[in-house]
Structures are given as C-alpha cells and as structure tokens.
C-alpha cells in the first residue's frame, strides 16, 4: 500500500474529529435521536460521516464504502472502506471523552488499513497490514500480562441476546479477575488492547464498522483476534474476541461456559 492511501484515511479521521470536537464542547443531549431502543444518533454523527465519505469518494471514487449511518454504496470493488464516524455516541452525548472516529480499508475482504482517532485525547492509532501498529507514530505492542493484573473490557450489540451474553461475561470476569469494564467505544477498547493498556475486549453482536480498524491494530501489535470459537475473525462475524494472546484461551473458555 502506498502512503497516499494511509494519509488520506488519517486526514479524513482528523477532519471528522475536528468537527466532532466543536459539537462536543457545546452538545445538548436533548437533541439526540433514537435509532432503536439502545442506539442513538446525533447531528455530529451525520456531519462527521459526510466529511469522511466525501474525502474517500474524492480520492477513490470506484471504491465501495460501508458506513454506520449511510449504509453501503452500490458500486462493485475489491476495496471496501468500513467507517464509524462516531464510535461511542452515548459517551459523546454525556460528555464522556471516550469516543472515537474509526476508518478501515479492506481488500478482497481482508483488512489492510485501520485508523482510530480519539480527538479528546489527541491520540491517533493506525496500522497497515504487515507493517505494525502505531500510536502518534510510536510503534505499539500488546501487553505481556497474563495473571493477576489482567484488565478485561467488553461491549455488545443492541440485540437482547448479545446484551445478556455480555452481562454474563462481565459477571464472570468481574468476580474472578482484577476487573472487567465497558468503556463505551469498541474502537477505543481495541486500541487499548493494542497498546497494552488492557488485555482483552469481548463483543457479542458487533457491527463491522465498530471493530474493523481496531481488529487490525490488535493483530499488528502482536495480539490475537478471533470469533468466540477461536476461528480467525472476519468482517462477516458478529462476535469478536481480541486480546494480547496470553489471555485468549482463558477468555474463550469463559465464553464457552456462559
């Protein structure tokens, strides 16, 4: 991959983040709209999405785009951009700074580029397939922790089955380990696994746009990403488990028991 593609993805994430920050500083939670019982959407989501899609279309008009709010474009291409313009909308709406912009590029269904930008923290994570993972241009690696200092995180989709699975997983890990937390942005949780801040993330019922970029971050940082059966994760999988590799077997064992 040439640097132009990476730079365009990073530039799009930064531009969207700049607009989101402006909205975030003066956000009024009464302006949110409900997509479903458990999902909200804001004007900020839509504005950020327009910016990212415009940038991609300007430089790569033949590429497909799959974005959380706009859906998938109808053109055919081996290249597919997978975009979440605002991952962690609920956090954003309550002025919790843990929200992000997530942009990934896949080629023939394999993710080759991922960028996760956390505007409030000024943290830009990115990875290219086979070239490692980076935080603000510093190479990152997963942690080597595997015993009593393990920090697990979790998230879930909106379906009741996914929520129940996540709650059962949380209960088991919370009682048996150091801690298990939901940070509210799957992209951030995956980025945190990649840079060694936590050891794992488990998400039942996920959407590809939530985790596409972050999954590559973890893999390129030396971690492991699978479905709940231990098979290699792909964009069609609805369940994802990502870890530093050291704790992966334990995570899958917990999932099997609940």
Domain identity same for 86 and 169:
no
Residue 31 banded pLDDT, cuts 50, 70, 90: low
Q: Report pLDDT for 6.
A: 95
105 and 161 inside one domain:
no
Residues 182 and 247 reside in one and the same domain: yes
Mean pLDDT of 156-178: 92
- What is the mean pLDDT of the segment spanning 221-228? 98
Q: Which of the four pLDDT bands, split at 50, 70 and 90, describes residue 185?
A: very high
pLDDT for res 40: 63
CA-based nearest residue to 226, from 198, 197, 256, 196: 256
Q: What is the pLDDT of residue 105?
A: 98
The total of other beta-carbon atoms located within 10 Å of residue 27's CB is 18
Distance CA(16)–CA(47), nearest Å, equals 8
In this predicted structure, what is the pLDDT of residue 107?
96
| Exposed / middle / buried, residue 31 (Cβ in 10 Å: 0-12, 13-18, 19+) | exposed
How many Cβ atoms sit within 10 Å of the Cβ of residue 116?
A: 30
pLDDT digits over 113-129, tens only?
A: 999 999 999 999 999 99
Please give the average per-residue pLDDT across 153-176, as a whole number: 94
What is the per-residue DSSP string for 3-31? HHHHHHHHHHHHHHHHHHHHHHHT--GGG
CATH at residue 160: 3.40.190.80
H helix or E strand, kind and range, residue 213: helix 208-220
From 114, 139, 164, the end of a domain falls on 139
Q: Which residues contact 203 (CB under 8 A, 6 or more apart)?
A: 154, 155, 156, 157, 166, 186, 210, 211, 239, 240, 241
Same domain, 88 and 178: no
| pLDDT for 171 beyond 90 | yes
Q: What's the predicted TM-score (pTM) here?
A: 0.94
Q: Give the chain's length.
A: 258
**Pair (44, 157) in one structural domain:** no
CATH of the domain at 116: 3.30.540.10
Using the 8-state DSSP alphabet, how is residue 232 labeled?
A: B
Average pLDDT over residues 38-53: 83
pLDDT band, very low/low/confident/very high, at 69 (cuts 50, 70, 90): confident
What average pLDDT does range 207-225 have in this prediction?
97
Count the Cβ atoms, other than its own, within 10 Å of residue 40.
15
pLDDT at 37 over 60: no
- Using the 3D structure, point to which of 110, 139, 168 is the last residue of a domain: 139
Is the residue at 98 inside a domain?
yes
Q: What is the pLDDT of residues 233-251, one digit of tens each?
A: 999 999 999 999 999 999 9
pLDDT for position 44: 84
Domain co-membership, 67 together with 115: yes
Residues spanned by the domain of 105: 3-139
- Within a domain: 145: no
Q: Is residue 102 in some structural domain?
A: yes
pLDDT classification of 203: cutoffs 50, 70, 90: very high
Look at the chain and report how many structural domains it folds into. Answer: 2
Mean pLDDT of 12-21: 96
Is residue 160 a part of any domain in this protein? Answer: yes
Q: Do 181 and 222 touch, CB atoms closer than 8 A?
A: no
Tell me: do 97 and 157 sit in the same domain: no
Q: Positive or negative, the Cα torsion across 233, 239, 243, 248? A: negative
Identify whether residues 85 and 162 lie together within a single domain: no
Query: Does 97 share its domain with 29?
Result: yes
Last residue of a domain, one of 139, 170, 193: 139
Residues 11 and 48 in one domain: yes
């Amino acid at each position: 991959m040439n640097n132009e593609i990476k730079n365009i993805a990073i530039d799009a994430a930064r531009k969207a983040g700049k607009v989101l920050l402006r909205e975030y500083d003066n956000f009024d939670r009464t302006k949110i709209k409900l997509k479903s019982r458990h999902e909200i959407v804001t004007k900020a989501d839509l504005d950020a999405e327009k910016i990212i899609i415009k940038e991609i279309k300007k430089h790569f008009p033949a590429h497909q785009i799959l974005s959380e709010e706009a859906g998938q474009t109808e053109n055919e291409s081996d290249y597919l951009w997978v975009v979440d313009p605002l991952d962690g909308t609920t956090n954003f709406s309550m002025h919790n700074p843990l929200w992000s912009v997530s942009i990934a590029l896949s080629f023939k269904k394999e993710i080759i580029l991922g960028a996760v930008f956390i505007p409030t923290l000024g943290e830009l994570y990115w990875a290219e397939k086979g070239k490692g993972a980076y935080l603000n241009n510093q190479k990152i690696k997963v942690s080597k922790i595997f015993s009593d200092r393990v920090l697990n995180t979790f998230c879930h989709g909106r379906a009741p089955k996914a929520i129940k699975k996540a709650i059962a997983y949380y209960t088991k890990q919370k009682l048996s380990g150091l801690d298990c937390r939901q940070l509210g942005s799957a992209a951030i949780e995956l980025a945190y696994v990649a840079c060694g801040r936590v050891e794992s993330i488990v998400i039942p019922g996920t959407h590809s746009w939530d985790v596409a970029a972050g999954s590559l971050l973890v893999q390129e940082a030396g971690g492991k990403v699978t479905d709940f059966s231990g098979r290699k994760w792909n964009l069609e999988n609805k369940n994802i488990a990502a870890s530093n590799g050291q704790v992966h077997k334990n995570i899958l064992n917990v999932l099997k028991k609940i």
